[in-house]
Amino acid sequence: MENNQETGGIYVLKCPITHSIVYIGQTVNFEVRKQKYNADYCHNLKMKLWIKKLAELDKTPIFEKYLLTDDQATKDRVERHLIRKHPYTFNIRGGGLYR
């Protein structure tokens, strides 16, 4: 990165009611990804319906940074580990980028 400042890593989405983790993801830019979490952006149908239901209650998912790193291997490893640790999420894949 040009300014040598990490902007990406692993994040979790939490339910604003139960505070349980509902999704684990990775990004290269936390701010951009956070702004995209709404029902129109979401491709996962179950998560889309959940976000819409929250909106009806005037609530939004809690977006939390979990790990700050731009190292892809680290992001893949940590994301896979967290998805295995929290199996009842909206995650469809097992985590990590598939190349």
Q: How far apart are CA 55 and CA 40, in angstroms?
A: 12
Question: Residue 98: pLDDT band by 50, 70, 90 thresholds?
Answer: low
CB 70 within 8 A of CB 95: no
CB neighbour list of residue 37: distance below 8 Å, 6 or more residues apart: 13, 51, 60, 61, 63
Give domain status of residue 76, yes or no.
yes
Residue 33 lies in a domain: yes
pLDDT (tens digit, 9 = 90+) per residue, 22-64? 999 999 999 988 888 876 778 888 999 999 999 999 999 999 9
How many domains would you assign to the chain?
Answer: 1
Domain that holds residue 40: 9-85
Asked, for residue 96, whether it belongs to a domain, the answer is no
- The reported pTM is 0.86
How far is 97 from 58, CA to CA, in rounded Å?
33
Kindly state whether residue 1 falls inside one of the protein's structural domains: no
In a domain, 99, yes or no: no
